[in-house]
Amino acid sequence: MAIPIKPVADIAKKWLDVTPGRSSFYEAGVRSPTADWQVNTVAAASVFKAAISAADIEKRFAGGARRAGTPKWQRKSVDVGVGRFAGGVSAAGPDYQAGIAPYVETIAAVTLPARQPRGSDANYARVKAVGDALTKRRLALAASGG
């Protein structure tokens, strides 16, 4: 005997009608979670590594991208992302400043080799000095969780 279930259109309509009114439940859950996000995320590091190392992970990743497709990405980006963009940028201001501060400090501390005549390969040493300093800082921050 088949399982009786409502048509998918009816299920989707109810979800669409009811769920937007539940934003207060979402907020309450974020403000007072039953488990600490950071603790659980750090504890899951080995699971993450296993997940991204799973057999055929590349095929699964590509399959998900094909299943969603460019039209869905564009539709959701326009319909949802555009309206949230300005508010998201405003909310991210302090985090942006804190995030770029170590890199700005690193660039300011680099002593560049002397500039050479235009077109000289020696000028790439100036770019390399900045790149090497930024890479070193990025790896140090990543390892420290900073």
Please report, for residues 29, 47, 50, 136, the alpha-carbon distance to residue 139 in angstroms, rounded to integers and kept in the order given: 33, 22, 22, 5
Predicted confidence (pLDDT) per residue in 38-91, tens digit: 999 999 999 999 999 999 999 999 999 999 999 999 999 999 999 999 999 999
Which of 96, 83, 132 has the alpha carbon at shortest distance from 112?
Answer: 132
Number of independent structural domains in the chain: 1
The answer to the question of residue 105 being in a domain is: yes
The answer to the question of residue 62 being in a domain is: no
- Can you give the residue range of the structural domain that contains 91? 13-50+70-144
The answer to the question of residue 138 being in a domain is: yes
The answer to the question of residue 112 being in a domain is: yes
The answer to the question of residue 57 being in a domain is: no
The answer to the question of residue 18 being in a domain is: yes
The answer to the question of residue 102 being in a domain is: yes
This prediction has a pTM of: 0.67
The answer to the question of residue 104 being in a domain is: yes
